[in-house]
Structure formats: structure tokens, C-alpha cells
Amino acid sequence: MTAVRFIDGLLPAITCLFRPFLLLSHDPTDALAALDSRKTGIDSEALSREAVEAYQLKKLQDTLNWCFERSPFYREQLLGYPRNMRSLEEWQAYPLTTAGDVRKRPFSFVCVSQSDVERVVTLETSGTSGPPKRLYFTAEDQELTRDFFHHGMSTFTTAGDRVLILLHCARLGSVGDLLDQALTRLRAEGIRHGLVTDVAETLRVLRQEEATVVVGVPVQVLSLVRSAAAQQMTRPRLESVLLTVDHVPEAVAQAVESTWCCTVFNHYGMTEMGLGGGLECEARRGYHLREADLFFEIIDPLTGEMVPDGQFGEIVFTTLTRRAMPLIRYRTGDVSRFLSGTCACGTVLRHLEKVRYRWNGRVPLAPDLFLTIADLDDALFELECVLDFAASVSNGVLKVTVQAEFTEVGTAVVKALSVLPAIKAIGLDLKVEV
């Protein structure tokens, strides 16, 4: 009996130790490339960048025509612009759409009758006053999301898996609801939980339901890994974790992988995209983009001009297949860049480096010197007892309020922050609360 118990406890550790080699030896296939092959009507063996871009050019033209004919906002916005395009390069001449445009006149974007709108999502404005954003979706638009979730989840989910969904699930058409519906197509079982509000209770459900996959918000999943309640439970036997909704600090992903001995994947998306924009394959070399439904660009946030591949800028996207509320050259505020080279999975889809921060989330400290949330993430989430934090800069003082398992973490926080180049360069004063 003792020997059995010893081996049972040792196997997860062995698997965790060799997981990087197992991932490399696995033949990573890109589920999104298969999805795009089906949607574009191009055989997977014939799928190429040229074929994808020819499809996107046609879909951009279709979207342009749809908006000219049906959207009051775009009929005004596009007045004087060409009705026809001959190349993707011409697309960058068209005007950008902002979140402010959507807030001011949401219904002027809608291209279908009210009876065809199946779901309206209201996104409250954070940090400022003003109207919320409202986004409209037809049944067909929501099916696009299910389809993306179905193929994306197949990267690390198979028939029989039990997926704990730590996202909003209650409302019909919510992200967790659509994900659960997509999982049935994989013959996997979704466990509808909702956001984490009680760490001990969520851990109990995780163990009781014998989940093999978890989908959740980065800092909420981190709390399940680092909380005192987690230390009193045996390690769950998870295979994979998908972190989504917010950007994923590398220290959080590493903490989840090392503690739970699983593989962590990143998802990139926002409600404006129809919840899905890109996903890592098993090679985990940035996001593979959902190019059959979305056209992505990277622009200089100040000039609006396109930047070369490999250069950082603001992510802009255009919907290619949306009916209720298409968006043309929508500014996300997220900063990233296109990656060059070929992924191990052999996909022809573009790669986007993982998003780390938002352009308007940078705090200027001096000319050409900024502090970002990614800088703080890198410094603070490396500390094993840190669960979350909030930060603000005012009058030359960086105030950081830390949520941690141990109140004695203050000195370690100050030390971790003091060595950040942006803080060190100007001697920014630090005020830490735990």
C-alpha cells in the first residue's frame, strides 16, 4: 500500500518534469488553420498566405458593401472613400473606428432589423463617465463564436474531458454559455461554475468534479494556485488550463504550470471581436489568428500608419463575417506585433505576439520613459505569495496595494519594484500597502 501511494504521488511530478519535452515531441496541429480551411473553402494542403489574403480581400469588399448599404454610421464615415478595393494595401487608407464611436452611436452601426438581433452586450465604461458600449449580435454571429470555441478548444481538449468554466455562464449567449455549447461538439463536458468568488469553494468543486481542463481569468486562477486553501489540498490532476479575458503575465502562467503540472494556453479576444481573436497552439509561439473571420493590422498609435512586421504597435481589426454590427478598422488599444517565421505546427496563419499591455495604460514618467502594467506584473507576480495588486501613480509616488497570503510581503514588494528600469531611472517614490 505504501509503495502504491508513493508511486501515485510521484507520477504527477515526473510528468511535470518532462512536460516541455512531451510538448516538443508532440506533433502540434493548428485547429484554427483547419477552421479557416473549411471557412475559406480552400483545401488544407492548398492553404497558403496568398490564398488566405485573396479570401480576406473578397470578404473586406463584402463588408464594405454591407456597411455602405446598411450602416448609418459607416455610410457617413465612408463618404468619399472608394466603394471598390483592388488590394489589401488599399485598405489602410480607410478611416479607423474607435471605442468612442461605438459608445456615442451604437445602434447606427447595426445593419440588420431589431428582430434579427439575438443578443445585446453592454460593456460599462471603466474609469470614466459616459455611455457604455453596446454590441449587437445575430444568431449567426453567435454561431461564429461557438465555431471558434469548438475548434480552438480542440487544441487541448478531447472527448471525455471535464472542463471547469470559471467565466460568466448564467446568461444565454454569455461567454461561458457559448463555450459550454461548443464543448458538447467535442463530446467534452462543461462544468458551469462562473467567476471565482470563494477560492475554497472553487477548489472543492475542482476536486469533486475531477476536472481535466480549467478555463478562467489569470489572476483568479492564480488565487486557486497560491491561496492558503490550495496548500491544504492535493494537487488536482489537470491536463490543461486556458487563461483568457485579461492579458496573461508570464509569471502567472509559469506559477500555474509548475504548481498544477499542466500546460497553460493563452487566448486573445474581446467582445468586439465576437469574443475570439486568436489562440496558442501546442507550440505556444504566440496567438494563431482567426483570419477567416477577422482581418488584423498593426498601426502606429500616434500616426495611424501601418508598421512593418516585427514592430510594436496598436492592434486594429475588421470583422469579415459579422452581420449585425460589423466593425471596420476598430482600434483595440492593445499593443503587440506580428511575429515572423514559421510555427512548428506549420500553419500559414499570422502570429501575434502575446499582448502585455494597452497603449493608454502606459504611465509617462519622463520623456520617452513609461511604466506599464506589464512591468508591474513581471515584478510582482514573481513573488510567490502575491495574488493580485492595484497600482496608481500620482505626484511622483507609485502607490501599490497588494493582495497576498502573507502580510510580511511589503519589503519584498518594494525590493522587486525598485529595480524596474522605469522606476530606477527617475527614483520614483514607492508606497506599498498589503
Are 391 and 223 contacting, i.e. CB atoms less than 8 angstroms apart?
no
Average pLDDT over residues 110-115: 96
Q: Is the dihedral of CA 53, 267, 343, 142 positive or negative?
A: negative
Q: What separation, in Å, do the N-terminal and C-terminal C-alpha atoms of the chain show? A: 45
pLDDT of residue 215: 97
Domains of the chain (ranges; CATH) run: 26-37+140-360 (3.40.50.12780), 362-433 (3.30.300)
pLDDT of residue 126: 52
Per the model's pLDDT, the better-predicted residue between 394 and 321 turns out to be 321
> What proportion of the chain, given as a percentage, has pLDDT over 90?
62
Residue 44's CB is within 10 A of a number of other CB atoms, namely 13
Q: What share of the chain is helix, strand, coil (3-state, %, to 5)?
A: 40, 25, 40
Are 95 and 331 contacting, i.e. CB atoms less than 8 angstroms apart?
no
Q: Which pLDDT tens digit goes with each residue over 327-377?
A: 999 999 999 999 988 888 888 888 999 998 888 888 888 777 888 888 899
Torsion (CA) 354, 313, 288, 225 in degrees, nearest 10:
20
Asked which of 20-24, 207-211, 265-269, 388-392 is least confident by mean pLDDT, the reply is 20-24
Q: Is the dihedral of CA 419, 422, 427, 428 positive or negative?
A: negative
Single-letter code of the amino acid located at 338: F
Are 109 and 73 contacting, i.e. CB atoms less than 8 angstroms apart?
yes
pLDDT of residue 125: 59
> Which band of pLDDT confidence, cut at 50, 70 and 90, is reported for residue 7?
very low
Instruction: Pick the most confident of 29-43, 307-321, 337-351.
Output: 307-321
Give the span between the Cα atoms of 281 and 348, in whole angstroms. 13
Average pLDDT over residues 50-58: 92
pLDDT of residue 25: 40
Whats the size of the chain, residue-wise?
434
Q: Which pLDDT tens digit goes with each residue over 333-342?
A: 999 999 988 8
Residue 381's CB is within 10 A of a number of other CB atoms, namely 24
Q: Is the dihedral of CA 167, 379, 19, 208 positive or negative?
A: negative
pLDDT of residue 3: 35
Residue 240's CB is within 10 A of a number of other CB atoms, namely 20
Is 241 exposed, middle or buried, given 0-12, 13-18 or 19+ CB atoms closer than 10 A?
A: buried
Give the span between the Cα atoms of 265 and 281, in whole angstroms. 8
Are 314 and 334 contacting, i.e. CB atoms less than 8 angstroms apart?
yes
In this model, does residue 10 exceed pLDDT 50? no
pLDDT of residue 434: 81
In this model, does residue 164 exceed pLDDT 50? yes
* b/e 137-169 (16+ beta carbons within 10 angstroms → b): bbeebbebbbbbbbbbbbbbbeeebbbbbbbeb
CA geometry: angle 357, 261, 150, nearest 5 deg:
65
Crossing angle of helices 373-380 and 410-418, in 10° steps, is 130
Per the model's pLDDT, the better-predicted residue between 44 and 217 turns out to be 217
> Which band of pLDDT confidence, cut at 50, 70 and 90, is reported for residue 36?
low
CA atoms within 13 A on the CB side of 170: 2
Torsion (CA) 73, 77, 81, 85 in degrees, nearest 10:
-50
Give the span between the Cα atoms of 300 and 290, in whole angstroms. 22
Per the model's pLDDT, the better-predicted residue between 284 and 308 turns out to be 308
In this model, does residue 257 exceed pLDDT 60? yes
In this model, does residue 75 exceed pLDDT 60? yes
Q: Which pLDDT tens digit goes with each residue over 127-150?
A: 445 688 999 999 999 999 999 999
Give the span between the Cα atoms of 25 and 397, in whole angstroms. 49
Is 364 exposed, middle or buried, given 0-12, 13-18 or 19+ CB atoms closer than 10 A?
A: exposed
Helices (H), 83-135: 99-104
Average pLDDT over residues 284-297: 92
In this model, does residue 322 exceed pLDDT 60? yes
Instruction: Supply the mean pLDDT for the chain.
Output: 87
* Model confidence, pTM: 0.88
Residue 207, phi-psi category: left (phi > 0), alpha (psi -120 to 50), beta (remainder):
alpha
Average pLDDT over residues 147-167: 95
